[in-house]
């Protein structure tokens, strides 16, 4: 019975033309990633109407929110990679264990963040600023988001499970419903109820909980995967495999949190010695990171959409389809980011004005930040798609190294060196240096590995 239920999904992944499959799998995920990125941006837009300190509180909370998404995404990517590969290999028992153990790990992660958030939120802000309004508002915002993070972790775990089985439309619809909930309740909670920053947090977790509820309904409606009680008992072998396949995404996301913290510190330090002061660079960079995450999220959604296609076809030995999928994803992702490049270069002032009118110095630095820091953003898909490619075919080591290269190996040292010699602008120039170098190295890595990866005898080892 199990194989009969899984057969339609096998035909879709292994038989449907790659071009059509790429669209049906990736477009819904791209839209859902776009919607997910809107959460923090929507909060920032509404909170900016409260006060500058309220906006800074939400901005400083961004790394913690990214860290939660990092852990949830790392587990989710592991679920997606192992599940799709197991389905391609017709190892259905392992597929069921993967799904159940993955959801269980997501719940455990949420519990850990709830405890950490309840205990250390205020300390997190106190080490960054001594402004009481920012500390109080930011700590309240983080406490609510972490203690209520069960919705986020469960939603992402089940979302990646459904993606691996080809049900990407449900992901898109559910994410949109959650985002719409956030957008509706943000102004109500912030202004009507006069909860301020706390209102933004409550609106966020309400949307995430709604996401999780919808995803759970979708999961139990379809019988491709069996979530039996005994499957939720942790299996060390499955957990280890999930961790190894998801570690590169986890490292990449955690690295982004670390990078934001280091960058903020450097911008404050070097900004104090510039005409912009210490506050403008930090506030502007937070907005630039949120806006760029909105666009790059589309590329990451594309990469996530092709992961089950790559994993299934690699597992079933259909290597020409794997090659075609990778090449198409790389081309489409690059085209999207080339368009984003022109938007960032031509319309930076219009983008920054969405977050409120500020001083001339503020606008000047914002324009410079968009144009310089995102100068090589069109090379980001090379690293993102290549990293997902290695994850999907079960090779976590190159995927992890490539994830480390952009943000840890290249970006942070470049910021330290460039900042030391040229000040606050040098920190910005580290962005295109890192994006360019890591993108080129990713392409070289996959080019050198291409024949070996698709050598049948080597691939089966």
| Higher per-residue pLDDT: 435 or 182 | 435
CA-based R_g, the chain, Å: 22
Alpha-carbon distance values, 185 to 178, 202, 410 (Å)? 11, 8, 40
- Give the global pTM: 0.71
pLDDT: is 346 or 397 the higher one? 346
pLDDT at 26 over 60: yes
The DSSP 8-state label assigned to residue 301 in this structure reads H
Lowest mean pLDDT, pick from 125-129, 230-234, 258-262: 230-234
Q: What is the pLDDT of residue 131?
A: 84
Average pLDDT, the chain: 82
Is a pLDDT exceeding 80 seen at residue 234? no
Structure tokens at 298: 């589309």
CA 170 to chain centre: 19
The pLDDT score that the predictor gives to residue 404 is: 79
Q: Give CA–CA dist 342/346, Å, rounded.
A: 6
Q: What sign does the dihedral 66-431-51-347 (CA atoms) show?
A: negative
Helix (H) / strand (E) element for 357: namely none
Residue closest to 252 by CA, chosen among 446, 69, 52: 69
**Distance (Å, rounded) from C-alpha 276 to C-alpha 374?**
20
User: In whole angstroms, what is the distance from residue 311 CA to residue 313 CA?
Assistant: 6
Residues contacting 442, CB < 8 A, separation 6+: 382, 383, 386, 387, 402, 405
pLDDT of residue 244: 67
Say if residue 423's pLDDT is above 50.
yes
Q: What's the whole-number mean pLDDT along residues 41-53?
A: 80
pLDDT > 70 fraction of the chain, expressed in percent and rounded: 89
Res. 231: pLDDT tops 80: no
- CB of 454 within 8 A of CB of 323? yes
Choose between 220 and 329: higher pLDDT. 329
Opening angle at CA 184, ends 182 and 190, nearest 5: 80
Which regions of 74-133 does DSSP assign to beta strands (E)?
none
What's the whole-number mean pLDDT along residues 198-226? Answer: 83
Phi, psi of 451 (to 5 degrees): -65, -40
Band (pLDDT 50/70/90 cuts) for residue 129 is confident
Confidence label for 9 from pLDDT (cuts 50, 70 and 90): very low
State the Cα–Cα distance between residues 151 and 32, nearest whole angstrom. Answer: 16
What confidence tens digit (pLDDT) does each residue in 280-290 have?
Answer: 898 888 888 87
Residue 459 has pLDDT above 50, yes or no: no
- Residue-wise pLDDT for 183-200, tens only, equals 899 999 999 999 999 999
Q: How many CA atoms lie within 13 A of 80 on its CB side?
A: 35
Q: pLDDT: is 271 or 159 the higher one?
A: 271
What is the spatial distance between Cα 329 and Cα 19, in angstroms, rounded to a whole number?
A: 10
Residues whose CB falls within 8 Å of the CB of residue 257, separated by 6 or more in sequence, listed in order: 63, 64, 66, 67, 70
Instruction: Supply the pLDDT for residue 443.
Output: 94
pLDDT surpasses 90 at 216? no
């Amino acid at each position: 019975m199990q194989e009969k239920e899984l057969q339609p999904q096998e035909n879709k992944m292994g038989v449907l033309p790659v071009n059509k499959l790429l669209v049906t799998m990736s477009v819904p995920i791209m839209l859902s990633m776009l919607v997910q990125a809107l959460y923090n941006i929507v909060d920032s837009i509404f909170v900016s109407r409260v006060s500058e300190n309220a906006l800074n509180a939400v901005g400083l909370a961004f790394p913690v929110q990214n860290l939660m998404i990092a852990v949830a995404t790392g587990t989710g990517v592991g679920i997606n990679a192992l599940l799709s590969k197991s389905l391609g290999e017709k190892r259905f028992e392992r597929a069921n264990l993967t799904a159940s153990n993955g959801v269980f790990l997501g719940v455990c992660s949420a519990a850990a963040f709830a405890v950490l958030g309840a205990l250390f939120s205020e300390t997190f802000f106190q080490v960054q600023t001594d402004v009481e309004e920012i500390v109080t508002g930011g700590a309240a915002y983080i406490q609510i988001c972490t203690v209520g993070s069960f919705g986020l972790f469960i939603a992402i775990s089940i979302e990646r499970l459904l993606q691996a089985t080809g049900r990407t439309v449900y992901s898109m619809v559910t994410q949109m419903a959650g985002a719409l909930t956030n957008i509706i309740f943000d102004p109500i909670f912030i202004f009507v109820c006069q909860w301020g920053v706390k209102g933004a947090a409550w609106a966020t977790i309400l949307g995430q909980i709604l996401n999780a509820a919808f995803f759970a309904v979708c999961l139990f409606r379809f019988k491709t995967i069996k979530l039996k009680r005994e499957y939720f008992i942790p299996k060390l072998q499955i957990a280890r495999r999930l961790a190894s396949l998801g570690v590169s995404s986890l490292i990449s996301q955690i690295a982004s949190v670390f990078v934001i913290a280091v960058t903020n510190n450097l911008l404050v330090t070097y900004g104090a010695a510039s005409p912009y002061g210490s506050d403008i660079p930090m506030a502007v960079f937070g907005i630039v990171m949120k806006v760029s995450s909105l666009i790059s999220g589309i590329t990451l959604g594309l990469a996530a959409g092709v992961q089950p296609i790559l994993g299934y076809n690699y597992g079933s030995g259909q290597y020409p389809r794997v090659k075609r999928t990778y090449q198409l994803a790389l081309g489409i992702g690059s085209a999207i980011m080339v368009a984003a490049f022109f938007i960032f270069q031509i319309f930076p002032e219009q983008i920054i004005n969405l977050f409120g009118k500020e001083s001339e110095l503020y606008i000047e630095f914002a324009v410079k930040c968009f144009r310089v820091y995102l100068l090589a953003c069109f090379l980001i898909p090379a690293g993102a798609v290549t990293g997902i490619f290695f994850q999907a075919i079960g090779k976590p080591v190159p995927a992890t190294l490539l994830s480390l290269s952009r943000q840890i190996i290249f970006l942070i040292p470049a910021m330290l060196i460039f900042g030391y010699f040229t000040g606050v602008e040098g920190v910005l120039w580290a962005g295109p240096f890192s994006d360019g170098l890591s993108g080129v190295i990713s392409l070289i890595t996959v080019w050198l590995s291409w024949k070996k990866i698709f050598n049948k005898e080597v691939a089966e080892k």
